[in-house]
Amino acid sequence: MLILRGLRSPDPHPVAVTIGNFDGFHLGHQQLLTQLRAAAQACGGDTAVVIFEPHPREFFTPDSAPTRLTSLREKLELFADFGVDRVHVCRFNQQLAQMPAVGFIHALHDELGARYVLIGDDFRFGKGRGGDFAMMEKVGEEVGFEVSSMHSVLQDGIRVSSTGIRMALAEGNLRAARRYLGRPYSISGRVVRGDGLGRQLGFHTANVQMKHNRPPLSGVYVVRAHLEGSAGIAGVANLGVRPTATQANKAVLEVHLFDFAQDIYGQHLRVEFMHKLRDEKRFPDLAALQQQIAHDAAQARLWFKKNG
């Protein structure tokens, strides 16, 4: 998969294009890309996805922007796994925010070589969000590409959306999040050195470097972790601010892997959240915390014994 910066194409090869944020890469996104792939095959072109970094709402209203479900790296990994040919990562800055909607449409044709454009039926774009499907269809016909809309995808009668997934995760409803995603929710990152508290308490942990400034869930979870090429390692994880051990307010992800003793510092670890055990809480001392961790680990092992 090619990863390109901005609305520039390395060759004149025609493409079928879709545009969006794709946060979470849920079932609606997957169905859209399946439709895009069919259109690309019909026009003899590649599939191309245009995304924005940062998210436009992070640019305009950073304090009230929604929590991210997927970091940029996670999103690109999911695109690659799905078989997308190229991804155009557009830096969302003041210049892009001021681009007229018509200019953006022309850039899709003139710079990317779009022959087909697929967008959500409620997609808005361009300066002041002045562009919509009707404008895209009208200008697309003038310059020479076809435009189609993608309607909402329903799961159990509920519209699949990134907002709905955030709500499910915040409530600890991992089962609902999994239905909307088509897979367990996961966070991935490089394993970095922590403060050694887990080792001190008798539970070695892998500290996963997160790109999520505000993760969409917190607490103690049964997890399955994946190193590159691994089938999955059972474990238990704490995602939160560790109120017993530190006064810092930054969330960290610590994973205790069962029956595992390899040195994995610097490696990339993907952590799937399988079941929530409890909320994070403050304990009176480290001895009480150690006792609770042992109980959490036993509960996680029991969960895997029952659920595989």
pLDDT, tens digit, 9 for 90 and up, residues 21-74 = 999 999 999 999 999 999 999 988 999 999 999 888 888 888 888 899 999 999
Q: Are residues 208 and 271 in the same domain?
A: yes
Amino acid 256: pLDDT: 94
Q: Are residues 145 and 284 in the same domain?
A: no
Domain that holds residue 29: 2-156
* Domain membership flag for residue 222: yes
Query: How many independent structural domains does the chain possess?
Result: 2
Amino acid 198: pLDDT: 62
Helix, strand, coil percentages (3-state) for the chain, rounded to 5, are 35, 25, 40
CATH of the domain at 194: 2.40.30.30
Which SS3 state, helix, strand or coil, does residue 27 take?
helix
Q: Are residues 198 and 291 in the same domain?
A: yes
Q: Are residues 25 and 105 in the same domain?
A: yes
* Domain membership flag for residue 43: yes
* Domain membership flag for residue 176: no
Q: Minimal CA–CA distance to 181: which of 27, 6, 5? A: 27
Final residue of a structural domain among 139, 156, 173: 156
Burial 92-123 (b: 16+ CB within 10 A, else e): beeebeebebbebbebbbeebbbbbbbbbeeb
CATH of the domain at 118: 3.40.50.620
Final residue of a structural domain among 156, 176, 192: 156
Which SS3 state, helix, strand or coil, does residue 267 take?
coil
Give the separation between CA 119 and CA 124, rounded to whole angstroms. 9
Q: Are residues 142 and 237 in the same domain?
A: no
Q: Are residues 148 and 236 in the same domain?
A: no
Q: What is the pTM of this model?
A: 0.90
DSSP codes of every residue in 222-234: EEEEE-TT---EE
Sign of CA dihedral 293, 196, 282, 164: negative
* Domain membership flag for residue 165: no
Q: Are residues 144 and 226 in the same domain?
A: no
* Domain membership flag for residue 177: no
* Domain membership flag for residue 298: yes
Q: Are residues 106 and 224 in the same domain?
A: no
* pLDDT band, residue 106 (cuts 50/70/90): very high
Q: Are residues 55 and 189 in the same domain?
A: no
Q: Are residues 145 and 28 in the same domain?
A: yes
pLDDT, tens digit, 9 for 90 and up, residues 200-224 = 666 788 899 887 668 999 999 999 9
* Domain membership flag for residue 166: no
Q: Is residue 75 predicted with pLDDT exceeding 80?
A: yes
* Domain membership flag for residue 210: yes
Give the separation between CA 161 and CA 180, rounded to whole angstroms. 8
Final residue of a structural domain among 156, 176, 195: 156
Average pLDDT in the 141-168 region?
90
Amino acid 245: pLDDT: 59
Q: Are residues 53 and 11 in the same domain?
A: yes
